[in-house]
Amino acid sequence: MAKIQVGVIGGGVYDNKTEMIAEEIGRELALRGVVLICGGLGGVMEACARGAKRQGGTTIGILPGNSREDANRYIDHQIVTNMGHARNAVIAASSDALIAVGGEYGTLSEIAIALKMRKRVVVIESKWGIEGTLKATDPQEAVDLALNAIS
């Protein structure tokens, strides 16, 4: 049976609080044996991958460009798409559930795509109230809510 894969999505720019939340989510996923999927670049993507790697987890980066070297140093497996923001559909489709940490319009598009694909989406530190998402108050709850949706 395939391992569970959870996508962590969020912006490339963040503050210290968002960084800590994303890193803790990555750690929690790794502790539970879950494979982390993210966009593979900086910001939330790098923080969650760093947390997962420090806990011995596996990370996959779905990259927007055409070079594996674009991935942050915590990505184990680089998937080059040369699709720009359209790669968001690949992240959503490859994830059993998704956790959105903060984010801007790119994150909003990932949330919408994931919901359209009938994926569970958990949000934390989101500035939007989006019907169909579940709101978490801390990283552990975010991971719990995401994993509880996967049968």
Q: Which residues have C-beta within 8 Å of that of residue 99, sequence separation ≥ 6?
A: 6, 7, 8, 9, 25, 121, 122, 123, 124, 136, 142, 143, 146
Which residues on neighbouring strands pair with residue 79, listed in sequence order?
62
Domain boundaries of the chain, sorted by first residue:
5-139
> What is the reported pLDDT for 10?
93
What are the tens digits of pLDDT across the range 83-94? 999 999 999 999
What are the tens digits of pLDDT across the range 106-142? 899 999 999 999 999 999 998 888 999 999 999 999 9
Q: pLDDT grade, residue 1 (50/70/90)?
A: low
How many angstroms separate the CA atoms of 23 and 38, rounded?
12
How many angstroms separate the CA atoms of 93 and 22, rounded?
21
> What is the reported pLDDT for 2?
73
- pTM of this prediction? 0.95
Which residues on neighbouring strands pair with residue 61, listed in sequence order?
38, 78
What CATH code would you report for 5-139?
Answer: 3.40.50.450
Q: How many residues does the chain have?
A: 151
